[in-house]
């Protein structure tokens, strides 16, 4: 009987984790060609999962050709000869688990990626909203044709939410709803036109520049420091679009200083318009603004934009779940008109049911109450983790930088020279103990832009998926990793 520890699936769904483990066993030969797999019900009972979980995993294996389903006979592993020199692909998101004999590292924590679900209460909140939407909302609203920007009801709810939470008044007609931030980035690229240049932060979020590049824009990487993007270097790029995260930059965690903010808005306002608004635009990516852990929220650039230069972007991925694919942007008046002319033929990529469910959460105040509770929970988790480091051998040498800005901070650890090689060495040592780290240098286009010149190694700690009971073990693994590479 196949045996997999389902508790080690990390952020993956049960069916996807089971599918990947079985796929990898077929590729490695642990499940030999021609072997009959256990019946769906028998495997479900053995693993303690639902029959649907096993059915979905088997269906995916069949669909991809790893397994053959024979009527009334069962499921059999296919022979998959791998050409010489070709290594079977194993997704990096699968956490390294123990081998069947119990040897090998167990993943205690993965700081390299965020949780795909805020927490169980977010799932319950969404489930309840969907049930109420389907049972209480008129079918005429749920199944009627909707505007390409998204349902007016949701756009009005977002506008009210922004007024209360971010202090900005926006016209719902300038809000566009789409399935995730990348869909928004692609729309922005289409609006400004292919062949132009977009400036992005370095280090930065890889999917930002990758999406723009895939849409035909030239990408210029502008270094950041503790005050945010070095706006003075924009002139050399020839960019007409700049993408920034001023309230909580990823991955450095820094907050763009007031002087840099005004210089950035000034740069945009200097552009000369041709009838559709300014020639330069700033994309303000406000992706986890709800989770500032102390002090007042950082005002958005949008609140200070007097020239119609800011495209405001946000999602519900951090507060609810990235799996819901719910994002939106607020366009300046000129670009809203351009969107109407050139992109209004697109259908909204978010289902009406999901839009109405989200509108209900915003209208009722349930969403804000959930965010407040989740923020307090994550603050307590962060404090517990930082406190544990302070009570360990890492005391005085480990520093949690930018810890109050959002759902990640930067962990600075001592090393010989703070080089990318040193960061990677610590990350390898930590992974051997079951802790996956994300070196800051891995987010930089130019590795020198990730260095602060102080001889410290830095790691991006997305702690929202950390299990509280694992904190003591995680801290010990980090301490051993630092010692093992002679860093402390």
Q: What is the pLDDT of residues 192-207, one digit of tens each?
A: 876 789 999 999 999 9
Q: For domain 120-364, is the CATH number 3.20.20.70? A: no
pLDDT (mean) for 71-76 = 87
Residue 44 and residue 18: Cα distance in Å, rounded? 11
pLDDT (mean) for 480-488 = 75
Q: Rank 51-55, 100-104, 149-153 by mean pLDDT and report only the highest.
A: 149-153
pLDDT of residue 38 exceeding 80:
yes
Selecting from 1.10.3720.10, 3.30.300.20, 1.10.10.10, 3.40.50.2000, what CATH number does the domain 6-104 have?
1.10.10.10
pLDDT of residue 94 exceeding 60:
no
Classify strands 399-401 and 408-414 as parallel, antiparallel or unpaired: antiparallel
When pLDDT is cut at 50, 70 and 90, the band that residue 98 belongs to is very low
Phi-psi category of residue 37: left, alpha or beta, with phi > 0 → left and psi -120 to 50 → alpha? beta
When pLDDT is cut at 50, 70 and 90, the band that residue 316 belongs to is very high
CB 66 within 8 A of CB 26: yes
Nearest to 331 by CA among 293, 390, 282, 269: 282
When pLDDT is cut at 50, 70 and 90, the band that residue 412 belongs to is very high
Q: Which fold has domain 369-484?
A: 3.90.1150
Residue 463 and residue 465: Cα distance in Å, rounded? 5
When pLDDT is cut at 50, 70 and 90, the band that residue 381 belongs to is very high
Query: Would you state the pLDDT for residue 92?
Result: 36
Residue 93: its H or E element: none
When pLDDT is cut at 50, 70 and 90, the band that residue 486 belongs to is low
Nearest to 317 by CA among 116, 165, 149: 116
Query: Would you state the pLDDT for residue 222?
Result: 95
Beta bridge partners of 68: 76
CA-derived radius of gyration, the chain: 24
What percent of the chain clears pLDDT 90, i.e. is strictly above it?
44
Range(s) within the chain of domains with CATH label 1.10.10.10: 6-104
When pLDDT is cut at 50, 70 and 90, the band that residue 461 belongs to is very high
Residue 230 and residue 95: Cα distance in Å, rounded? 37
Placement of tokens 């669909």 in the chain = 63
pLDDT (mean) for 91-118 = 59
Residue 226 and residue 222: Cα distance in Å, rounded? 14
Average pLDDT, the chain: 86
pTM score = 0.76
Tens digits of residue pLDDT in 320-378: 888 899 999 999 998 999 889 888 898 899 999 999 999 999 999 999 999 999 999 99
When pLDDT is cut at 50, 70 and 90, the band that residue 291 belongs to is confident
CA distances from 24 to 12, 13, 357, 431 (A): 15, 17, 38, 20
Helix 471-484 and helix 420-432, axial crossing angle in degrees, nearest 10: 130
Query: Would you state the pLDDT for residue 416?
Result: 59
CB 310 within 8 A of CB 281: yes
**Helical H segments across 174-217, by residue range:** 181-192, 206-214
Query: Would you state the pLDDT for residue 211?
Result: 93
| pLDDT higher at 398 or 91 | 398
How many Cα neighbours within 13 Å face the side chain of 144?
A: 11
Range(s) within the chain of domains with CATH label 3.90.1150.10: 369-484
Residue 17 and residue 23: Cα distance in Å, rounded? 10
CB 5 within 8 A of CB 47: no
When pLDDT is cut at 50, 70 and 90, the band that residue 103 belongs to is very low
pLDDT (mean) for 461-469 = 91
Task: Please state the φ and ψ torsions of residue 428, each to the nearest 5 degrees.
Answer: -65, -45
pLDDT of residue 273 exceeding 70:
no
pLDDT of residue 276 exceeding 80:
no
pLDDT of residue 487 exceeding 60:
no
Residue 308 has a CB neighbour count (10 Å cut-off) of 19
């Amino acid at each position: 009987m196949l045996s997999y520890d389902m508790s080690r699936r990390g952020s993956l769904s049960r069916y996807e984790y089971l599918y990947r483990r079985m796929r990898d066993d077929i590729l490695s030969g642990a499940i030999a060609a021609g072997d009959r797999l256990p019946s769906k019900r028998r495997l479900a009972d053995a693993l303690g999962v639902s029959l649907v979980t096993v059915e979905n995993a088997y269906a995916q294996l069949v669909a991809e050709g790893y397994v053959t389903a024979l009527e009334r006979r069962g499921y059999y592993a296919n022979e998959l000869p791998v050409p010489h020199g070709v290594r079977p692909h194993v997704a990096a998101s699968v956490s390294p688990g123990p081998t069947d004999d119990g040897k090998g590292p167990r993943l205690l924590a993965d700081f390299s990626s965020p949780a795909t679900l805020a927490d169980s209460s977010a799932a319950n909140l969404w489930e309840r909203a969907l049930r109420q939407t389907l049972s209480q909302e008129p079918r005429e609203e749920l199944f009627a044709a909707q505007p390409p920007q998204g349902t007016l009801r949701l756009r009005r709810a977002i506008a009210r939410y922004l007024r209360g939470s971010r202090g900005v008044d926006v016209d719902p007609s300038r809000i566009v709803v789409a399935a995730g931030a990348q869909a928004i980035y692609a729309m922005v690229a289409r609006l400004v036109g292919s062949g132009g240049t977009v400036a992005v932060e370095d280090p930065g979020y890889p999917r930002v520049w990758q999406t723009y590049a895939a849409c035909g824009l030239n990408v210029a990487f502008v270094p950041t420091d503790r005050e945010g993007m070095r706006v003075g270097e924009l002139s050399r790029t020839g960019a007409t679009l700049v993408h920034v995260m001023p309230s909580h930059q990823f991955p450095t965690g820094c907050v763009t200083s007031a002087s840099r903010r005004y210089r950035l808005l000034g740069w945009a306002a200097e552009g000369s318009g041709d009838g559709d608004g300014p020639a330069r635009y700033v994309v303000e990516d406000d992706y986890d603004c709800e989770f500032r852990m102390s002090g007042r929220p950082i005002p958005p650039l949008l609140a200070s934009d007097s020239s119609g230069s800011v495209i405001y972007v946000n999602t519900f991925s951090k507060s609810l779940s990235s799996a819901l694919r719910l994002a939106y942007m607020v366009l300046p008046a000129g670009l809203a008109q351009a969107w109407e002319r050139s992109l209004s033929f697109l259908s909204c990529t978010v289902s009406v049911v999901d839009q109405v469910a989200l509108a209900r959460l915003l209208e009722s105040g349930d969403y804000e109450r959930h965010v407040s509770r989740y923020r307090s929970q994550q603050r307590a988790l962060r404090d517990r983790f930082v406190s544990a480091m302070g009570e360990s051998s890492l005391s005085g040498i480990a520093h949690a930088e930018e810890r109050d800005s959002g759902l990640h901070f930067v962990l600075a650890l001592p090393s010989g020279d703070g080089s990318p090689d040193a960061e990677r060495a610590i990350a390898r040592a930590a992974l051997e103990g079951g802790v996956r780290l994300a070196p800051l240098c891995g987010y930089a286009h130019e590795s020198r832009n990730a260095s602060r010149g102080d001889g410290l190694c830095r790691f991006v700690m997305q702690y929202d998926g950390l299990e509280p009971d694992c904190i003591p073990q995680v801290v010990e693994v980090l301490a051993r990793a630092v010692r093992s590479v002679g860093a402390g």
